[in-house]
Amino acid sequence: MSSTDDISRHLGILRRRDKHIASAIKQAGLPNSRRMEPGFATLIRIIVDQQVSVAAGASIWAKLKTASNGEVTPKGLLNLNEAGLRSCGFSGQKARYALGVAQSTQAGELDFDAMLHMDDEAVRAKLIALKGIGPWTVDIYLMFGMGRPDIWPVGDLGIQNAARALMGLRKRPTPERLEKIGADWSPYRSAAALLLWHYWHYRVETAKAAKA
């Protein structure tokens, strides 16, 4: 799922297979690629974005880039230390997680180039071993940092909300139920996830416009 063309192709297959995918595309259109460069900086950006709004994450990231002279590197983060990261807007916990990733990368324990040649589960095991890196963070890195085509972040609230609205469910699906829902969309679940985020954004913005 490295390009908009890949997303379009994968969703073209899924829309013929599933009426819900077809309906989401008809209503919201196709999503664009959100591909990011693989590596340390992208993983730190995903940590920054954990459990904060898009605007808050962008603000923290902008401050971090300024404090890092435009380039977020392991050495730069370690030089900033916890106090420097907190001045950029990191919580104490996130600062410690980010510094742990920087230390592992600096020591050669975490090799982003080597991960490019690993399968999804090997990458997952490598990253989950780091403190503060959970399933959501790994899923987002695999999808957007590595362009892996069959990632399905079942713990993501946006995807859960979108699935509830799109499928007319009485309540937001649990991760376990969402796993079953997504099974029919393999091996293109990354494109399906991207579509559901796009669809949910469309629903939210349409509701706002109706109230204006």
As a whole-number percent, the residues of the chain with pLDDT over 70 amount to 99
- What is the pLDDT confidence band of residue 87, given thresholds at 50, 70 and 90? very high
Q: Per 3-state DSSP, what percentage of the chain is helix, strand, and coil (rounded to 5)?
A: 70, 0, 30
Residue 173 and residue 179: Cα distance in Å, rounded?
Answer: 9
Residue 162 and residue 82: Cα distance in Å, rounded?
Answer: 36
6 tagged catalytic:
no
| Tokens of residue 207, six digits | 């509701």
Q: Identify whether residues 173 and 126 lie together within a single domain.
A: no
pLDDT of amino acid 1: 57
| Active-site residue (options: 5, 150, 156, 184) | 156
Q: Identify whether residues 140 and 156 lie together within a single domain.
A: no
The model's pTM: 0.93
What's the half-sphere exposure (Cβ side, CA atoms, 13 Å) at 58? Answer: 3
The parent domain of residue 26 ranges over: 4-34+151-211
Residue 104 and residue 111: Cα distance in Å, rounded?
Answer: 9
Q: What is the CATH number of the domain that holds 179?
A: 1.10.1670.40
Q: Which of 113, 145, 177 finishes a domain?
A: 145
- What is the pLDDT confidence band of residue 144, given thresholds at 50, 70 and 90? very high
Mean pLDDT score across all residues of the chain:
95
Q: Identify whether residues 134 and 56 lie together within a single domain.
A: yes
Q: Identify whether residues 28 and 57 lie together within a single domain.
A: no
pLDDT tens track for 152-168: 999 999 999 999 999 99
pLDDT of amino acid 211: 84
189: pLDDT strictly greater than 90: yes
pLDDT tens track for 37-71: 999 999 999 999 988 888 999 999 999 999 999 99
